[in-house]
Amino acid sequence: MKVSISEARRRLPELVRQVRKDAGATVQITVRDEVVAELRAALPEPEPGAAARALLDLARKLRRPRRRGRPTDVSAHVKEYLYGRRP
């Protein structure tokens, strides 16, 4: 719904109740028929620790089996690792 800024000032409590009731609703505030702001419901807060759990799950999925032998010195061969071996 598009509403002029002067009408939005008058009806702000009503518009907030409308957006709060219907989370998918948005109210576009216009100045001289140009949309300058949008009023919509806030996104729900993620539960505490959700980001950490997601990162740990991702780390478990990405783990590779360890390679046997001596560790490779990556810093000595940076360009080779980045760009591959040249023919």
Domain boundaries, position 27? 2-40
Query: pTM of the predicted model, to two decimals?
Result: 0.52
In-domain check, residue 16:
yes
In-domain check, residue 77:
no
SS3 assignment, position 35: strand
pLDDT per position as a tens digit, 7-51: 999 999 999 999 999 988 999 999 999 999 999 998 888 888 888
In-domain check, residue 49:
no
CA–CA separation, 10 vs 40, rounded Å?
A: 17
How many structural domains compose the chain?
1
